[in-house]
Amino acid sequence: MSTMTSAPAAARQAPRTTPAQRMLALARAELTLLGRSKGTLVMALFVPLVMPFSVRAGASEMDLEGTGLSVGSVVLPGAIGFSLLFAVYSALVNVYAARREELVLKRLRTGELRDAEILAGAALPSVAVGLLQSVLLAAGCVALLDVGAPEAPHYAVLGLLLGLALWPVLAAATASFSRSVENAQVAAMPLLLLSFFGSGTMVPLEVMPDRVAAVCELLPLTPVVELIRGGWTGDLSAADALGALAVTVAWIGVGVFAVRRWFRWEPRR
């Protein structure tokens, strides 16, 4: 067909951007946007900090005799769970739906950012908020609820990191099934409710009937809560920890599959 010659002009090579640079540039813009979105901000910052008080009220009434749990070890993992659900998951479902609606995702895909970088870069500020919040909640619970230092801190850290990796993926997967921004919150509801009641944030699995607990262990938030709780109480066996890890990794796999398969980059017309 045609002959290709490399003209001198083509040889001019500007330094290429790296994935990290690109994601940080996007994350910076998203952080600015987060600061300007009052609704998201209230939900992300306020709710996870208030919810623990209601959990605490409930936990004081619970019959924790024989479960090896204290009020603090019920409240803290639950509080971190709420942070993941609101500051990370719910906020990001909104972000992805809104950026799609405004055709921002479509425009970003025309640049050097790859698809995964777009989703990850947009998630960074919310993930940072979730991380910061979790650390604050842990410090707060240690100071106020007499939780004591964690017995197996590595489990707690593993649980938190897994949670911070998993929930953005689930947010993107959820956004795949919502048509609009208004719809996004509705799409997020099932997983939010299921996690509230089934993942040990409000009620620890230890006080549930065995059969119910067995099913609830497979929910995406449960292993995170279990790992963090085990990190504090120190009575999580290595086998249970491995099981929790496996469940989370499986959910990440399901989420990634769903995103690759169904995520839409522009609004349906």
Binding site for another protein (CB under 8 A): 1-7, 9-10, 14-17, 21-22, 24-26, 28-29, 32-33, 36-37, 99, 102-104, 106-113
Quick check: 255 and 172 in contact, CB under 8 A?
A: yes
Query: Which CA distances in Å does 211 have to 57, 161, 215, 223?
Result: 26, 28, 7, 17
Residue whose CB is less far from another protein, 113 or 160: 113
Q: Residue 110: phi, psi to the nearest 5?
A: -85, -10
Q: In this structure, what token pair is assigned to residue 163?
A: 């949670």
Q: Minimum Å distance from CB 202 to another protein?
A: 34
Residue whose CB is less far from another protein, 59 or 104: 104
Q: Residue 31: phi, psi to the nearest 5?
A: -65, -45
Q: Residue 266: phi, psi to the nearest 5?
A: -140, 155
CA nearest 54: which of 71, 37, 41? 71
Q: Minimum Å distance from CB 145 to another protein?
A: 38
Q: Minimum Å distance from CB 165 to another protein?
A: 23
Q: Minimum Å distance from CB 85 to another protein?
A: 24
Residue whose CB is less far from another protein, 10 or 238: 10
